[in-house]
Amino acid sequence: MKLLTSLLVAAATLTSSVTSLRAEDSKTIVEVAAGNPDFSTLVAAVKAAGLVDTLTGAGPFTVFAPTNAAFAKLPKGTVEDLLKPENKAKLVSILTYHVVGAKVMAKDVKAGAVKMVSGNDAKVTVDGKTVKIDAATVTATDIACKNGVIHVIDSVILPPAK
């Protein structure tokens, strides 16, 4: 009887762990980002840019998501300036430069140019286990969402000047 009880407890624990790992699969990219305090600046920018509906849509999308620390690397006042309504077009350009219009898991990443939703190409480099998109290093991968995937980056990437 003790063995049966132990097995049932172990099975329940394993099921709970697997369920929590897959919990993000039922949320959109925006919902996952909004639920993580490290992405509060990104979420504020997505809202200011009017991209919430897009990034909660069907997708699929791959978002290279800068953390709050990544935004903090920008020159002082940059984020506050970008969040102003008169700078919405520039903010949209920057944010859509962080998005690929397909679901690309880490195992599928290849070095080379990748077309971003902004219309610009970003450069992906792979050096052993280190992956970069432009100058940003990917620090976490494969945060699966119901409409795509998030890869965390350590810097905000900027589209080429026009």
Q: How far apart are CA 94 and CA 104, in angstroms?
A: 20
What does the pLDDT read at residue 129?
Answer: 87
Q: How far apart are CA 96 and CA 99, in angstroms?
A: 5
Higher model confidence: residue 18 or residue 131?
131
Q: How far apart are CA 39 and CA 109, in angstroms?
A: 23
**Which residues are paired to 143 by β-bridges?**
150
What does the pLDDT read at residue 24?
Answer: 61
What does the pLDDT read at residue 32?
Answer: 94
Q: Confirm or reject CATH 3.20.20.140 for domain 24-153, answering yes or no.
A: no
**Is the pLDDT confidence value at 18 over 50?**
no
**Is the pLDDT confidence value at 114 over 90?**
yes
Summarised one tens digit per residue, pLDDT across range 148-159 is 999 999 999 999
Contacts (Cβ under 8 Å, ≥6 apart) of 53: none
Q: How far apart are CA 148 and CA 126, in angstroms?
A: 22
pTM for this prediction:
0.83
What does the pLDDT read at residue 59?
Answer: 84
Angular region, 148: left φ>0, alpha ψ -120 to 50, beta rest: left
- What is the residue extent of each domain of the chain? 24-153
Q: How far is CA 45 from the centre of its chain?
A: 13
Summarised one tens digit per residue, pLDDT across range 41-92 is 999 999 999 999 898 888 899 999 999 999 999 999 999 999 999 999 999 9
Q: How far apart are CA 101 and CA 87, in angstroms?
A: 24
Other beta carbons less than 10 A from residue 76's beta carbon: 8
- The answer to whether the CB of 121 falls within 8 A of the CB of 112 is no
Higher model confidence: residue 7 or residue 66?
66
Mean pLDDT over residues 91-113, rounded? 93
Percent of the chain residues past pLDDT 70, beyond the cut = 85
Q: How far apart are CA 39 and CA 74, in angstroms?
A: 15
- The answer to whether the CB of 51 falls within 8 A of the CB of 59 is no
